[in-house]
Amino acid sequence: MRRSTCARIGVALALIVISGAAPARADQQPADPLERLRALEQRVEELKQENDTLRSEIESLRHDFQATPVPAAAPESPEAATTPPVETEATPPPAEPVPAIAEVPAPEPTTIVSGAGGKNFLNLSLDGLVAAGTSTAKDIQALQVGGHDPTQRGFTVQNVETVLEGAVDPYLRGQANIVLQITPEGETSVELEEVYATTSSLPKGLQVKAGQFFTEFGRLNAQHPHSWDFVDQPLVNGRFFGPDGLRSVGARVSWLMPTNFYSEAFLAVQNSQGETASSFRGVPGETLFGREIQQREVASVSDLLITPHYAASFDLSDTETLLVGASAALGPNGTSDHGRTRIYGVDGFWKWKPTNAFRGFPFVKVQGEFMQRRASVGAVDSLAAATFRDRGGYLQVNWGYKAGRIVGLRFDRVSGDRGDPADDALAPRWRISPALTWFPTEFSKLRLQYNYDKRSPFQDDAHSLWLQLEFLLGAHAAHKF
Amino acid sequence: MRTTRVFFTIAATCMAAVLPANAALKVVGTTGEYSALASQIGGARVSVTTIAKPTEDPHFVDARPSQIVALNRADVLIEGGAELEVGWLPPLLDGSRNPKIAAGAPGRIVASQGIQLLDIPLAADRSQGDTHVAGNPHFMLDPLNAKIVAEHIARVFSALDPAGASLYRTNASAFEAALDAKMKQWTAALAPFNGRQIVTYHPTWRYFGRRFGLKADTFLEPKPGIPPSPPHLAKVMQKMQAENIRVLLVEPYQPRKTAEAVVARTGGVLVDVAQFPGALPGTPTYLDLIDTVVKRVAQALAAK
């Protein structure tokens, strides 16, 4: 055993000499002899220090060796202990000279890939979100405004999301979220929810994102359904952004401002048509404020969807963080050639979490968004030009009272459209939703939610009960604040 | 009142951030032990911030936006790298858009590089709990690993800030010398208990146990990251009584009630320990922390 230790120290010495010699050769040789001498002096000094380090290492090894005769507590291999980790780069020193002295074999020195990276060029995960439940409403599909909400008595596959994510090259990161659903009719539908690239190293705090992506409007719109705190989407999001949220193909630039608190400004330019831009050019044949949406082409940049957004965050104390934002979504609407829609919103999120939190619990989270929509519609047939306004918002509180257990309450409200002709889909309504969530681990959850829905005076109140299961396979989920 | 508080917080943050501008290197440590080492080696030439609080569960840290700002301005990021930070560091890095600390950049220190990790699973299988494919990430609790990391930090600091190279070298050597001296004391303090078993909540203390000849292989968690179940706890208590295991280590964030119940029923001793400097009173530095832990563990093992 003593001989093997000596051998290991020898190898370590040799490695150090080699690693020490290599950069010296690579150094450019200054022409001035005085400078060369100075460089040499410095080199000698460095070598002396390395020698000291090594000596202390040998000392500790010897000491270790004598003090701990227990095989399980055998010293680390000296290469690991003395080889400068930086210079080993991707190829760690060979483990070969380590003789098997311990009953527990020493593991191979591994090259650690940091961050989210694994051994593959992309991180792959699959998130399944299924629900079961019932409602007293006769028209559950009209009651539930979200495309990923449970929409029938019995079972609903809300969202099965495949996420592919990774670094494209040193300059870009790429992500694709491909969503599968099973419609109430039993058909499987595929949706390319998001696919985009973001820059990773632009200067001056800038970042560009391009592709198909959720518009960064407010807080909830850009989040995927599995990270929501409730089974379904807030009424205001469903009404203003459509069942699948506001998203489209385009580009976004954001600027992390040089302030001392978090302060970021975003500007997105995206296509303004399709069911994921329902307040804008939308889908011809559908209606907006009771007016039929026409085919409308893009004539200028102002016919695209423009979304400025600003977010700021403050750590109020060791345990409290506040995130606030303001957004606007501006674009054409399809009711006439000159129709325009403007949606303005403010959002806030406050979280308390003690400094000795375990598994992220306990916590209290308060989140709210308020939005206002203003749509100018042109004169069509017998209907005069008009401007319609409506607004809505939600406020929710979630209390993670002990590890893995959350109790939540959400209040939702949307105003009527005050438009002509009265659009039943835009009647005022409100909803209150208590929910209980249990995370057995961070990879799965069970949620039980009750909804009390109050709609127009002509419709019965609705009581709904939904049970939701989420499971996550693959790469570890990492969530933004 | 809240408004005034918010206002003062903003004002204070603005003023605070003006100060570290004259530091040669701005360093961010993901967890406290890396920050403690960085401060020790960098001295006044570096300004250091830490993402995780020393008393919170390092597996579950909020990706607070303020940390995006710190990372955006950082010259150096020190992370453990063995997936401990996988749940919260990636979104912060995405937001930081800072090429100086991008993967593979000179300013990115992956502390686990060059360290032999324990408990590397045979397969990536979450039915075995929240295992880390790279291995057990709590390697800094072996003081000899801290020496490797200190060397790593000193080299990176010197490369990025050559004017401070001699200071970094001196400080790193001083740290290592102090650690070697302490190591003798620690080994001596724990030598009488060679081969003894200890119970821990999570496999946090594997490296510590291995270094000091203690068997830290019994856990209140049935599998890493899985909460203790009554049958598993019963098994652990049975083992503790059968094999006369009396010492149970608990960290600031771990459920103390569960640990208390176990020692109450087995007649054991509960020892408050921590992985990160500052989490226990009087432990601002890494050496202080290990010193306190060793003393507490030795005292508990000695108790009859």
pLDDT digits 0-9 by tens, B117-137? 999 998 889 999 988 889 999
* A358: nearest CB among B16, B130, B253: B253
pLDDT of residue A120: 75
Q: Do A359 and B97 touch (CB under 8 A)?
A: no
Stated pTM of the model: 0.82
Q: Do B94 and A198 touch (CB under 8 A)?
A: yes
Res A115 pLDDT > 60: no
Give the pLDDT band (50/70/90) at residue B279. Answer: very high
As a whole-number percent, the residues of chain A with pLDDT over 70 amount to: 78
- A79/chain B closest Cα distance in angstroms: 8
pLDDT of residue B218: 97
User: Is the ipTM of this structure higher than 0.85?
Assistant: yes
Q: Do A313 and B16 touch (CB under 8 A)?
A: no
* B97: nearest CB among A67, A109, A200: A200
Say which residue, A246 or B5, is predicted with more confidence. Answer: A246
Contact list in A for residue B18 (CB cut-off 8 A) is 260
Top CATH class, B2-183: alpha beta
* B254: nearest CB among A67, A70, A358: A358
**Architecture, CATH, for domain A123-474:** Beta Barrel (2.40)
Sign of the C-alpha dihedral computed for residues B134, B99, A327 and A141 taken in this order: negative
Say which residue, A337 or A448, is predicted with more confidence. Answer: A448
- Domain regions of chain B by residue span: 2-183, 186-302
Q: Do B184 and A311 touch (CB under 8 A)?
A: no
Rounded Cα distance between A110 and A93, Å, is 10
Contact list in A for residue B60 (CB cut-off 8 A) is 357-360, 442
* A56: nearest CB among B13, B103, B176: B176
Mean pLDDT of A176-203: 95
pLDDT of residue A475: 83
Q: Do A112 and B64 touch (CB under 8 A)?
A: no
Q: Do A73 and B210 touch (CB under 8 A)?
A: yes
Contact list in B for residue A94 (CB cut-off 8 A) is none
* B-interface mutation test, from A16, A49, A114, A264, most B Cβ less than 10 A away: A114
* A476: nearest CB among B72, B86, B194: B86
Tell me the per-residue pLDDT of A302-328, one tens digit each, with 9 for 90 and over: 999 999 999 999 999 999 999 999 999
- A43/chain B closest Cα distance in angstroms: 12
Mean pLDDT of B190-216: 97
Beta bridge partners of A132: A155, A467
- Alpha-carbon distances of A324 from A255, A346, B65, B71, rounded to whole Å: 16, 8, 11, 20
pLDDT of residue A427: 87
* A357: nearest CB among B14, B69, B253: B253
Res A479 pLDDT > 50: yes
Give the pLDDT band (50/70/90) at residue A87. Answer: very low
Res B173 pLDDT > 80: yes
Say which residue, A110 or A346, is predicted with more confidence. Answer: A346
Q: Do B253 and A117 touch (CB under 8 A)?
A: no
Nearest chain B residue to A199 by CA: give it. Answer: B97
* B213: nearest CB among A73, A77, A111: A73
- B241/chain A closest Cα distance in angstroms: 23
Q: What is the number of CB-based contacts under 8 A between chain A and chain B?
A: 245
Element (DSSP H or E) covering residue A44: helix A33-67
Rounded Cα distance between A289 and A341, Å, is 11
The token duo for A218 is 């407010």
Of A149, A144, A172, A170, the closest CA to residue A159 belongs to A149
Mean pLDDT of B171-178: 98
pLDDT of residue A113: 41
Mean pLDDT of A146-175: 94
Burial class (CB in 10 A: 0-12, 13-18, 19+), A456: exposed
Rounded Cα distance between A256 and A266, Å, is 9
Q: Do A52 and B173 touch (CB under 8 A)?
A: yes
Contact list in B for residue A73 (CB cut-off 8 A) is 194, 210-213
Rounded Cα distance between A40 and A44, Å, is 6
Say which residue, A421 or A92, is predicted with more confidence. Answer: A421
* B-interface mutation test, from A60, A64, A112, most B Cβ less than 10 A away: A112
Show which of residues 65-104 on chain B sit within 8 Å of chain A, judged by CB atoms: 65-66, 68-69, 72, 79, 81-83, 85-91, 93-99, 102-103
Contact list in B for residue A202 (CB cut-off 8 A) is 97
Please answer whether residues A336 and A377 qualify as being in contact, where contact means their C-beta atoms are separated by less than 8 angstroms.
yes
Please answer whether residues B32 and B54 qualify as being in contact, where contact means their C-beta atoms are separated by less than 8 angstroms.
yes
Of A9, A24, A171, the closest CA to residue A87 belongs to A24
- A445/chain B closest Cα distance in angstroms: 14
Phi-psi region of A194 (alpha: psi -120 to 50; beta: other; left: phi over 0): beta
Nearest chain A residue to B226 by CA: give it. Answer: A441
The full 3-state SS of chain B, as one line of letters, equals CHHHHHHHHHHHHHHHHHHHHHCCEEEEECCHHHHHHHHHHHHHHEEEEECCCCCCCCCCCCCCHHHHHHHHHCCEEEECCCCCCCCCHHHHHHHHCCHHHCCCCCCEEECCCCCCCCCCCCCCCHHHCCCCCCCCCCHHHCHHHHHHHHHHHHHHHHHHCHHHHHHHHHHHHHHHHHHHHHHHHHHHHHHHHCCCEEEECCCCCHHHHHHHCCEEEEECCCCCCCCCCHHHHHHHHHHHHHCCCCEEEECCCCCHHHHHHHHHHHCCEEEECCCCCCCCCCCCCHHHHHHHHHHHHHHHHHCC
Give the pLDDT band (50/70/90) at residue A197. Answer: very high
Q: Do B210 and A72 touch (CB under 8 A)?
A: yes
Of B252, B207, B204, B202, the closest CA to residue B223 belongs to B202
pLDDT of residue A39: 75
Contact list in A for residue B126 (CB cut-off 8 A) is 441, 443
Q: Do A85 and B151 touch (CB under 8 A)?
A: yes
Of the ranges A14-23, A307-316, A459-468, B72-81, which one carries the lowest mean pLDDT score?
A: A14-23
- The fourth-level CATH superfamily of domain B186-302 is Nitrogenase molybdenum iron protein domain (3.40.50.1980)
* B191: nearest CB among A67, A106, A356: A67
Contact list in B for residue A91 (CB cut-off 8 A) is none
Q: Do A115 and B89 touch (CB under 8 A)?
A: yes
Nearest chain B residue to A63 by CA: give it. Answer: B184
On whether any CB of chain A is under 8 Å from the CB of B122, the answer is no
pLDDT of residue A62: 57
Q: How far apart are the first and last CA of chain B?
A: 54
- B109/chain A closest Cα distance in angstroms: 8
Of A384, A257, A262, the closest CA to residue A312 belongs to A262
Nearest chain A residue to B100 by CA: give it. Answer: A201
Contact list in A for residue B184 (CB cut-off 8 A) is 63
Q: Do A112 and B113 touch (CB under 8 A)?
A: yes
Say which residue, A387 or A117, is predicted with more confidence. Answer: A387
On whether any CB of chain A is under 8 Å from the CB of B6, the answer is yes
- Domain regions of chain A by residue span: 2-88, 123-474
pLDDT of residue B94: 94
Nearest chain B residue to A165 by CA: give it. Answer: B90
Q: Do A115 and B79 touch (CB under 8 A)?
A: yes
Are domains B2-183 and B186-302 of this chain identical in fold? yes
Contact list in A for residue B162 (CB cut-off 8 A) is none
Give the pLDDT band (50/70/90) at residue A188. Answer: very high
Mean per-residue pLDDT over chain A, rounded: 83
On whether any CB of chain A is under 8 Å from the CB of B264, the answer is no
- A194/chain B closest Cα distance in angstroms: 17
Tell me the per-residue pLDDT of A32-84, one tens digit each, with 9 for 90 and over: 777 777 777 777 777 777 776 676 666 556 555 544 433 333 344 434 444 44
